[in-house]
Amino acid sequence: MSVLNDQQRKFYEDTRNVTRQEIADLEGQIQEELQRVKQRITELQAAQKAARQMYDAACQRLGVPNDLEEQGNE
């Protein structure tokens, strides 16, 4: 590897510092987005659970087997 002059060294140090900050910012954005996705999945799972309970109650009232019960166990 060749020896860098002062100007080249400063260029690469600046590039490294800017890129390090960019990577940290992107990591923060990734974590925020991941948290939003996890929250949305939790909301959808709760809605699905409530719908399954309603479906099960309707099946019981009609006296028919709950065909979704097997799917929930898979």
> Residue 17: what pLDDT?
98
Mean pLDDT, the chain, integer: 94
- Please give the Cα distance from 68 to 56 (Å, whole number): 8
Radius of gyration of the chain (CA): 27
- Please give the Cα distance from 10 to 3 (Å, whole number): 13
Give the residue carrying structure tokens 């940290």.
24
> 9-41, pLDDT tens digit by residue?
999 999 999 999 999 999 999 999 999 999 999
Is pLDDT of 1 > 90? no
> Residue 22: what pLDDT?
98
How large is the average pLDDT for residues 53-64?
97
Is pLDDT of 71 > 80? no
